[in-house]
Amino acid sequence: MTEVLHREPMDLLFSVGLLALTLCAYFAALRAFQKARHFSLLHPLVSSCLLIAALLYSFDIDYARYQRANSIFYWLLGPATVALAIPLDREFARIRALAQPLLLTLLFGAIAAPLSAVTLAALFGADPLTLLSLTPKSVTTPIALGIAKEIGALAELTAGVVIFTGVVGAIAGPRLLSLIGVDDERLQGFTLGINAHGVGTARAFDISPLCGAFSSLALGLTGVLTALTLPTLLLWLAKIL
């Protein structure tokens, strides 16, 4: 009895500590990012994840335990996603002006993203289950997990791949696009949203609200389009192969 009484406040305190760890790591990472004049490898998401992972490993703290203590952040992703409607509404006139090329690119991107991933992985000898789990990789996490379940992919693998894809897109995306001459921030935003979902969209909002609005649009449309088409497409492919 005394042990239970003793353990519960300690457990609560530990949870608060793990939550504070996330906040401290994030704000320290943000500070470093601003000091380093937005040097992209120091993206706050990357450096804070590295810092927290190092601490969890060195103090031998279970990842599931950490996740439980930080569930508020998963929860806040919901209203934050809904909030994307506001910049979307504000920039709608500028989005509508580009409606046709945006929709065509969306159709192209929704196929190009999974296809380039699967092709490269196949060249490196991935097994069929891995290939299947890679297909929803550019879609926002909750939709990707829904698709993974539908097509019989490995959900844990899909979840990890999705976030990592977003991180790669957020770090390298804007620079790569400028390098190949895609400088317009509307186009950069839309491309980030198609390929790097919410993580890319967070990066797009760092560039400008306009860039972020185009990314939000692409994030939503890619998610919905992929959810509608990918399972059917894979079923059809499985039949002809």
Partner 1 sequence: MSTALDYLKGLSVLVLFQLLGEGLAQVLPIAVPGPVLGMILLFFTLRQLDPPGWLVKTAGRLIGLLSLFFIPAGLGIFFLPEAMQQQWPAILAAIVGGTLLSIALTGLTLKALTRGITEQ
Enumerate residues 125-154 that contact partner 1 by CB under 8 A. Answer: 125-127, 129-130, 134, 137-138, 140-143, 146-147, 149-150, 154
7/90 with CB nearer partner 1:
90
CA–CA distance, 70 with 192 (Å, rounded to integer): 27
Maximal C-alpha separation, the chain = 68
Enumerate residues 55-84 that contact partner 1 by CB under 8 A. Answer: 56-57, 63, 66-67, 70-71, 73-74, 76-84
Asked if 48 is part of the footprint of partner 1 (rule: CB under 8 A), the reply reads: yes
7/160 with CB nearer partner 1:
160
**Considering only 5-13, 34-42, 115-123, 233-241, which stretch makes contact with partner 1 by CB under 8 A?**
115-123
Among 14, 28, 40, 184, binds partner 1 (CB under 8 A): 184
Contact letters for partner 1, residues 162-181 (x by CB under 8 A): -xxxxxxx--xx--xx--xx
What is the nearest approach in angstroms of partner 1 to the Cβ of residue 234?
14
What is the nearest approach in angstroms of partner 1 to the Cβ of residue 113?
4
3/160 with CB nearer partner 1:
160
Asked if 109 is part of the footprint of partner 1 (rule: CB under 8 A), the reply reads: yes
Going from the C-alpha of 51 to that of each of 22, 58, 72, 101, the distances in angstroms are 10, 11, 20, 41
Which residue shows structure tokens 């899909």? 158
Angle between helices 209-240 and 141-151 (to 10 degrees): 0
Contact 153, 226 (CB under 8 A): no
Q: What is the DSSP letter of 137?
A: T
Q: How many CA atoms lie within 13 A of 193 on its CB side?
A: 30
**Considering only 5-13, 34-42, 223-231, 233-241, which stretch makes contact with partner 1 by CB under 8 A?**
223-231
Which residue shows structure tokens 């490269």? 120
Asked if 5 is part of the footprint of partner 1 (rule: CB under 8 A), the reply reads: no
Going by C-alpha positions, the residue among 162, 183, 174 that lies closest to residue 205 is 174
Q: What is the DSSP letter of 1?
A: -
